[in-house]
Amino acid sequence: MGRFLWLSGQTLSKNEEPPQDGRVKWQIRMSGTGPEAGRAFHPLAFPERRDPPGGDLKAYRTACKDGTRAFTLWADQYRGQVSAHVVTKSALKGGSATYEVLGAAGEPLALITRQPAMKGGTVRTRWTVQQAGAPTAVGLKGRAFWWFVWWLISPIQLAIAIASILGGGDVARTPRRTKWRADGRVVLDFHNGVGAFELEVLADWWDDRVLAALVALLGSHDGWLGSRWDLAAD
């Protein structure tokens, strides 16, 4: 049975209040069986955005417009030890962006490339993960059938969005399920779990730091209907 990872803004205890003592608020959790109630999990990493030097959230928002992202993945809530870094190697506004995952000592762990939909000959957003010493894994966001359904109902989404704002409805999310394949085999599956989207790990050669970085990046590209963790106020 595979491992599961998901991003959470909650603290480890269900009844615990959000941290007020400077702890990192977000965490990437891992479970051997999924995030169902009562099943064991543990925090794998604590992601935190890195604002531009001398900048703040506003400066980070500006940098994000061309696809730039910058995170630190901490091994603990109090920033005592770094697990990994995510930095932008290249990014083009409206085009592809490549992110480098580095270990605590700066050693290269992986390259993760996001190519947006309708660019470079692909209709769906393409995520490519090149982990050092491992096969390249490629995933396309959403199944083609559900994208077809989405575009069929898109004319009524504006009305639903207005109703949602007024408290009377909910907007249908764009298709998000993504399966990564390497050498013809599915090695990662990002799908809807119990209460959260989760990344299911289906190959045993993945580096947990690379997986945590991918989950953080996916959450930072949550689309206009999503809620990006890295843009939350501190």
Least confident window among 56-70, 123-137, 182-196, 209-223: 182-196
Q: What is the mean pLDDT of residues 67-73?
A: 97
Q: Is the model's pLDDT at 120 over the cut of 90? A: no
Q: Which residue has the higher pLDDT, 219 or 117?
A: 219
> Rounded CA gap, 228 and 114, in Å?
16
pTM (2 decimals)? 0.83
pLDDT for the residue numbered 195: 66
Least confident window among 63-72, 136-145, 164-173: 164-173
> Rounded CA gap, 98 and 168, in Å?
40
pLDDT for the residue numbered 14: 47
Q: What is the mean pLDDT of residues 166-170?
A: 52
Give the chain's mean pLDDT.
83
pLDDT for the residue numbered 38: 57
> With contact defined as beta carbons under 8 Å apart, do 141 and 176 qualify?
yes
> With contact defined as beta carbons under 8 Å apart, do 115 and 122 qualify?
yes
> Rounded CA gap, 21 and 123, in Å?
45
Query: Phi and psi at residue 215, in whole multiples of 5°?
Result: -60, -40
pLDDT band at residue 117, thresholds of 50, 70 and 90? Answer: confident
Domain boundaries, the chain: 3-142+177-231, 144-174
* Listed residue (119, 87, 117) closest to 102, CA to CA: 87
Q: Which amino acid is at 109?
A: L
The predicted-structure confidence for 151-165, as pLDDT tens digits, reads as follows 555 656 566 556 555
pLDDT for the residue numbered 144: 58
Least confident window among 78-82, 160-164, 202-206: 160-164
* Listed residue (5, 46, 9) closest to 24, CA to CA: 46
Least confident window among 10-19, 91-100, 222-231: 10-19
Q: Is the model's pLDDT at 168 over the cut of 70? A: no
